Amino acid sequence: MMRIGLAKRRPGIAALVLLVGVAGAHHTAFGQSTAGGTATQANTTASASHKYVRPADSLLQTRLTKLQYAVTQNGYDEPRFFNEYWNNHAAGIYVDVVSGEPEFSSTDKFDSKTGWPSFTRPIDSANVVTQVDSSLKSEVRTAVLSSGANSHLGHVFHDGPKPTGLRYCINSAALRFVPVDSLASEGYGEYLPLFRKR
């Protein structure tokens, strides 16, 4: 299905629209202005007003690739199997490509055989927001956004493995991978204990 809406808003990426529409058959586009959509904070005890914020749009358009912008800002989803992290098995964390907010850990990553990076839970429930996504006629889904920058990350489904039973199906284009060896130097040293052998 071709995503006409994106082509109208951002004429320069009409080819991307076609690519996402054809290759992303199951993991289809999410419109941020979904009718009846409501946002909820996964963990209301933690404040989302922290250092991870969305930069100005003019800056984002120079920092992000066209695909990264389309996914995080316009709610589109990348093609399955044709993305950077679906088959990444390295140890580390995944942060919001827009703000740098930590979102997921490789310790919670699993092979869902869907062609997108999949996780059983976020690295911190306060770092994600969920929103009703009724953009598909066939089903109502739950979209996952970063709490700091409100970046569209992907969707969460209730068909994952134990212990949570959840599958966070996330776009690689919404993420930046930080390997364990770089956590301290990039300011994410607090997450090192996740990777220490017990």
Buried b (16+ CB within 10 A) or exposed e, 113-139: eebbbbbbbbbbebbbbbbbbebeeee
Separation between Cα atoms, residue 14 and residue 95, nearest integer Å: 27
Cis peptide before 163 (omega within 30 of 0): yes
Separation between Cα atoms, residue 68 and residue 97, nearest integer Å: 8
Separation between Cα atoms, residue 52 and residue 46, nearest integer Å: 13
Tell me which residues are annotated as active site: 169
Dig out the tokens for 15 from the structure. Answer: 């080819």
Q: Among 127, 132, 119, 130, which residue's Cα sits nearest to residue 168?
A: 119
Buried b (16+ CB within 10 A) or exposed e, 140-176: ebbbbbbbbbbbbbbbbbeebeeeeebbbbbbbbbbb
CA 131 from centroid of its chain's CA atoms: 13
